[in-house]
Structure 1
Amino acid sequence: MENSIIKRQVILAFFILILPFCGCAQVLQSRQTTLMGSVFEITIVAQDSTLAQQHISAVIDEIERIENLISEWRPHTQISEVNRNAGIRPIKVDKEVFDLTARAIAYAEMTHGAFDISIIAMDKIWSFDGSMDTLPTAEAVQQSVQNVGYKFIILDSIQQTIFLSKKGMKIGFGSIGKGYAADMGRALMLHNHIPAGIVNASGDIATWGTQPNGKPWAIGINNPFKNHRILKTIKLTDGAIATSGSYEKYAEINGKRYAHIINPKTGYPATGITSVTIYGPSAEYANALSTSVMVLGLIEGTELLKKNPTYKYVIQTDQGKVKKN
Structure 2
Amino acid sequence: MTMMLKNKTFKFVLKVSLLVGLILLIKDQNGVFKKGTPMSESKILMDTIVKFDLCDDGHSMQQMKNAFDEAWKKFYDLESKLNAYDQKSELSKINDSFPDPIFVSSDSYRLIEASVNYYEKTNGAFNICVGPLIRMWKEAKKNNKIPSEQDYLKIRSAIDIRNIGLIKGGKVILKNKFTRLDLGGIAKGYAVDEVVKIFKQHGFDSFLIDAGGDVYASGFNCEGKPWRIGIRDPLNRSDIIDVVSVSDSAVTTSGNYERYYQIGESKYSHIFDPRNLMPQKSVISATVIAPTAQEADAFSTALCVLGEEEGFKIIDGYDNKFAAFIVLNNNDGLIEKKVSKHYKKFQ
CA distance in 1, matches of 2:250, 2:174: 31
Between stretches 235-244 and 177-186, larger displacement belongs to: 235-244
Cα root mean square deviation, aligned: 2.7
Verify: 1:75 aligned to 2:82, yes or no. Answer: no
TM value normalised by structure 1: 0.89
For residue 288 of structure 2, what is the aligned residue in structure 1? 278
Classify 1:11/1:95 alpha carbon distance in 2 versus 1 (closer, same or farther; 3 Å): same
Q: 2:70 aligns with which of 55, 58, 62?
A: 58
What SS does the corresponding residue of 1:135 show, helix, strand or coil? coil
Q: 1:141 to 1:14 in 2, by over 3 A?
A: farther
Matched, 1:11 2:18: yes
Local SS of the residue matching 2:273: coil
Give the equivalent residue in structure 2 for 1:85: 97
**Alpha-carbon deviations, 1:198-238, whole Å to 9, x = none?**
12111111121222211222110012234422221111221
Note the C-alpha offset of 1:124: 2.6
From 319, 322, 325, the equivalent of 2:337 is: 322
Q: TM-score, normalised by structure 2?
A: 0.83
User: Kindly tell me: are residues 84 and 254 of structure 1, through their superposed partners in 2, closer, same or farther at Cα, counting changes over 3 Å?
Assistant: closer
2:181 match: 171
Asked whether the 8 Å contact 1:27–1:48 carries over to 2, the reply is: no
Q: Please point out which of 125, 147, 158 is paired with 1:114.
A: 125
CA offset at residue 261 of structure 1? Answer: 0.9
Distance 2:78 2:36 in 1: 30
Aligned residue number for residue 215 of structure 1:
225
Structure 2 distance, partners of 1:82, 1:303, is 34
Identity of aligned residues (%): 24
The size of the alignment, in residue pairs, is 321
* Worse overlay, 143-152 or 171-180: 143-152
Deviates more, 1:51-60 or 1:231-240: 51-60
* Paired amino acid for 1:166: N
One-letter code of the match for 2:100?
A: R
Which residue of the other structure, out of 91, 104, 114, is the alignment partner of 2:115? 104
Per-residue displacement from partner, 1:184-204 (whole Å, max 9, x unpaired)? 101110011013211211111
1:138 Cα deviation from its structure 2 partner: 3.0
Residue type at the aligned position of 1:243: T
How far apart are the structure 2 equivalents of 1:44 and 1:147?
A: 43
- 2:197 is paired with a residue whose SS is helix
SS at match of 1:213: coil
Q: Which deviations, in whole Å up to 9, do the C-alpha atoms of 1:130-185 show, x marking residues without a partner?
A: 9886533333234343421211101112x321100011211121110000000110
